[in-house]
Amino acid sequence: MRVESLTPHIGAKVWGINLAEPMTDETFAKIHALMMDWSVLVFPDQDLSQEDHKRFGARFGALHTHPMHQIRSDIDPHILKVKTTKDSAYTAGDGWHTDVTCDEKPPKVSLLYMKEVPECGGGDTLYADMYLAYELLSEPMKQFLQGLEAVHDGGLPYVGAYKSTPPEGGYPVSTHPVVAVHPETGRPVLYVNSGFTSRIKGLSAFESRALLDMLFRHIESTPRLTARVSWAPGMLTLWDNRCTQHHAVWDYYPHSRYGERVSVIADERPSAFSQTQIH
């Protein structure tokens, strides 16, 4: 395996591995360790069937079914199609977000396999490092955010932006800590995102809006948080959804782009970080 970093702190390209082939535990452990180090891994030049894609995803844990997925026997519940054409009203993920944080246990890893890229170029995905987003906040702000909880509402993107009809009982709504601890690295992450986070509990509506807008602006306006992935057909990118956000750039209208995403359910709910966890 050859590894080439995209930036000094987030994102790496991994060469010399065929993800369609059976994978030894040792190779998987190396990939997992790379994910802990780089949060986003790009595997160019893959040739994967949907079964290969799901088999690789399942090495990380149980596969996730997206809340917008209509359960039909002709649709695979574990493959989320990410398709944009000239007739699309929106493109999935066109805004900074962490995948499906409305779930109690949001996906821990997502793996997007690109099949078609816009012929005009563009259609990149930006990734942002939420470890660094937290680190760059001032000490008083870090202190203030610790212990706060926020509401993550699936209706915000799926009804508000995508105009889909909610399932019976509505889309999931969950509460998560504003500063979470990554369960494997033990590092703190800023855990609010403009896709799903609707309010911070215990604050007035005005305070909550102002604080969320400030944190979203911090993410949007700090280029050093980000790595940019330029896709080619046959490229698979996986991201650790517990410490990153991403933004799919829709700059290629009226051209098309098509990929398929597999996500993996987290083993536990996000838990709060507290200063005492630093030894």
Question: Which residue type sits at 131?
Answer: Y
Closest CA to 176 of 205, 147, 208, 133: 147
Q: Is 179 in the site for ligand SIN (CB under 6 A)?
A: no
Instruction: Among 39, 98, 125, 241, indicate the residue that binds ligand SIN (CB under 6 A).
Output: 125
Binding segment for ligand SIN (CB under 6 A), chosen from 3-11, 66-74, 91-99, 153-161, is 91-99
Instruction: Among 40, 102, 112, 189, indicate the residue that binds ligand SIN (CB under 6 A).
Output: 112
- Which distant-in-sequence residues (6+ apart) come within 8 Å of 138 by Cβ? none
CA 74 remoteness from chain centre: 26
Q: What are phi and psi of 225, to 5 degrees?
A: -75, -20
- Tell how strand 40-43 and strand 12-15 pair up: parallel
The residue (of 118 and 188) whose beta carbon lies closer to ligand SIN is: 118
Instruction: Among 57, 93, 107, 154, indicate the residue that binds ligand SIN (CB under 6 A).
Output: 93
Instruction: Among 43, 211, 261, 262, indicate the residue that binds ligand SIN (CB under 6 A).
Output: 261
- Reply yes or no on whether 247 is catalytic: no
Q: Report the C-alpha gap between 106 and 100 in whole angstroms.
A: 6
- Reply yes or no on whether 97 is catalytic: yes
- Reply yes or no on whether 246 is catalytic: yes
Residue 247, strand partner residues: 126
- Whether the CB-CB separation of 92 and 260 falls below 8 Å is answered with no
Q: Is 82 in the site for ligand SIN (CB under 6 A)?
A: yes
Catalytic residues: 97, 99, 246, 261
Interaction site with ligand SIN (CB under 6 A): 82, 92-93, 99, 110, 112, 125, 246, 248, 259, 261
